[in-house]
């Protein structure tokens, strides 16, 4: 199974993702026996980018057609649970894999995000063989925001690999009901 959002498939979701600012977060595994290079996240369009497994099992980020590819040092074809956050702030894109920031292999400069043709999760429509089009592993706790996440939110979700659910971000615990989440008070030792 996979997610594919195009203007025809879901106008509301497409408009949200086609805005100038967005973030996507997900936990995933990839079958170690998979020898293909499946796409985990894909943003299609003139200035879009793709995150996939590279030929040696590390996370790989590809820029738009004609741009370079970035082979990260993060191994993802190991059967273990990993996490990804992909963000676009209107001018540039950022990606975090397992809590570590990796640079997208191009900078947009002062250009304006001109939208995308579509978004896929767990599916690469450009694979040469249909059986290689689909992600071979688990994808879970997917969330999409119409904004970029803060460093604190990224750390909160990743939490050293233990992770917290998206629901905990949306509804953080506040035992003393002072409007400050407990995790923030504990981190900064607020009495």
pLDDT for 119-133, tens place per residue? 788 887 666 676 677
Q: What's the predicted TM-score (pTM) here?
A: 0.76
pLDDT for 44-69, tens place per residue? 665 567 788 888 888 888 776 556 67
C-alpha pair distances (Å), 139 with each of 7, 22, 63, 102: 23, 19, 22, 20
pLDDT for the residue numbered 84: 92
pLDDT for the residue numbered 173: 80
pLDDT for the residue numbered 28: 92
pLDDT for the residue numbered 7: 63
- Least reliable range by pLDDT among 96-100, 110-114, 153-157: 110-114
């Amino acid at each position: 199974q996979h997610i594919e959002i195009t203007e025809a498939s879901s106008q509301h979701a497409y408009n949200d993702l086609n805005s100038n600012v967005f973030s996507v977060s997900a936990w995933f595994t990839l079958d170690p026996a998979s020898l293909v290079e499946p796409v985990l996240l894909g943003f299609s369009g003139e200035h879009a980018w793709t995150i996939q497994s590279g030929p040696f099992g590390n996370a790989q980020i590809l820029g738009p057609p004609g741009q370079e590819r970035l082979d990260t040092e993060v191994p993802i074809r190991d059967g273990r649970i990993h996490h990804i956050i992909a963000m676009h702030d209107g001018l540039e894109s950022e990606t975090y894999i397992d809590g570590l920031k990796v640079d997208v292999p191009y900078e947009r400069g002062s250009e304006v995000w001109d939208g995308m043709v579509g978004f896929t999760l767990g599916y690469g429509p450009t694979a040469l063989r249909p059986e290689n089009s689909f992600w071979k592993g688990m994808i879970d706790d997917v969330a999409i925001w119409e904004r970029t996440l803060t460093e604190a939110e990224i750390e909160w979700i990743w939490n050293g690999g233990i992770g917290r659910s998206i629901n905990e971000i949306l509804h953080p615990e506040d035992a003393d009901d002072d409007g400050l989440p407990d995790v923030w008070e504990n981190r900064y030792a607020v009495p």
